[in-house]
Amino acid sequence: MSKIIDGKQIAKNIRMELKEEITDLKEEGRAPGLTVVMVGNNPASETYVSMKEKAALEIGMNSSLIKKEEDISEKELLDLIDDLNNDPDVDGILVQLPLPDHIEEKKVIESIVPDKDVDGFHPINTGRLFSGQEDALRYEACTPLGIIRLLEREGIEIDGKNATIVGRSNIVGKPVAHLLLERHATVTICHSHTKDLKAETKRADIVVAAVGRPEMITGDMIKEGAVVIDVGINRVDGKLLGDVEFDTAKEAASKITPVPGGVGPMTIAMLMENTVKSRKYHGV
């Protein structure tokens, strides 16, 4: 029987540590400032944005939400971001995705100055990650960074381990692969063209499931004693399911994240961490 990794508790611990840092930053001049821009009324986005706001306020961060109607023009949105880029009290800018079809997401992401891109999606930040520039200011994407923090806080050794990632998205699969590589794991990335997925996951010490298909990874695909990180959030018949079949996988895994309560809370904690990092970079 595996140990369930409590992402909610680990995220809470990180937030409390950040709260202490923010107290010190306030004494130096001001709290970190995070601005979230949301276009339209997507219910899932509204829930997620509300969770971000709650987390930011809980730790003493200055958090603001700018809501715009779905018919906002691309130019208007880009002008708004430009204003936030030039606002000295804003350390982090996050544009909640998805955006309406008439707005090009790539253009919007690239319009955020890299040193305020606390979501870690700007090409300069991803480029610094993929080229291994640890000495330069960079923000790692929040979900991949949250996965690494989970492993570290649980005392799970990464160096020399075989890590298999199921999913090759720019948001999770590719960046988490590079973060694991930086920590000297031997990394395999699997995808829809992988010939024998079970063979790849079965030999992994660490499995990261980030493919977006409910319960695709079953217990017989997990090596005895492996660590399983489930990134998937799939709503099926009103129930949230991960990409891993939890009940069977937990019989083989030594440690496993649940859905919900695993990676999700860590994503928000890492957004807070990146914003504090940005505030330190920008100074008073």
Give per-residue pLDDT as tens, 190-245: 999 999 999 999 999 999 999 999 999 999 999 999 999 999 999 999 899 999 99
pLDDT recorded at residue 132: 83
**Where does CATH 3.40.50.10860 sit in the chain?**
30-126
Active site residues: 52, 96, 119
- Written as one string, the DSSP assignment of 69-121 is -TT--HHHHHHHHHHHHT-TT--EEEEPSP--TTS-HHHHHHHS-GGG-TTS-
Q: Is 68 helix (H, G, I), strand (E, B) or coil?
A: strand
pLDDT recorded at residue 224: 97
Is the pLDDT at 43 greater than 90? The verdict is: no
Q: Is the dihedral of CA 165, 269, 255, 246 positive or negative?
A: negative
Which CATH number applies to 142-264: 3.90.1010.10, 3.40.50.720, 3.40.50.800, 2.170.120.12?
3.40.50.720
CA 129 vs CA 3, 111, 166: distances in Å? 31, 19, 20
**Residue range 14-31: mean pLDDT, rounded:** 97
- Give the C-alpha separation, 97 to 109, whole Å: 10
Which CATH number applies to 30-126: 2.40.160.20, 3.40.50.10860, 3.90.1150.10, 3.40.640.10?
3.40.50.10860
Nearest to 153 by CA among 48, 229, 251: 229
Q: CB neighbours (10 Å) of residue 68?
A: 15
Q: Do the beta carbons of residue 36 and residue 64 sit within 8 Å? A: yes
Instruction: Tell me the pLDDT band of 50, cut-offs 50, 70 and 90.
Output: very high
**Residue range 48-52: mean pLDDT, rounded:** 92
pLDDT recorded at residue 207: 98
pLDDT recorded at residue 238: 87
Percent of the chain topping pLDDT 90? 92
Q: Do the beta carbons of residue 7 and residue 270 sit within 8 Å? A: no
Which residue type, as a one-letter code, is found at position 97?
L
Mean per-residue pLDDT of the chain: 96
Is the pLDDT at 86 greater than 90? The verdict is: yes
**Residue range 145-170: mean pLDDT, rounded:** 97
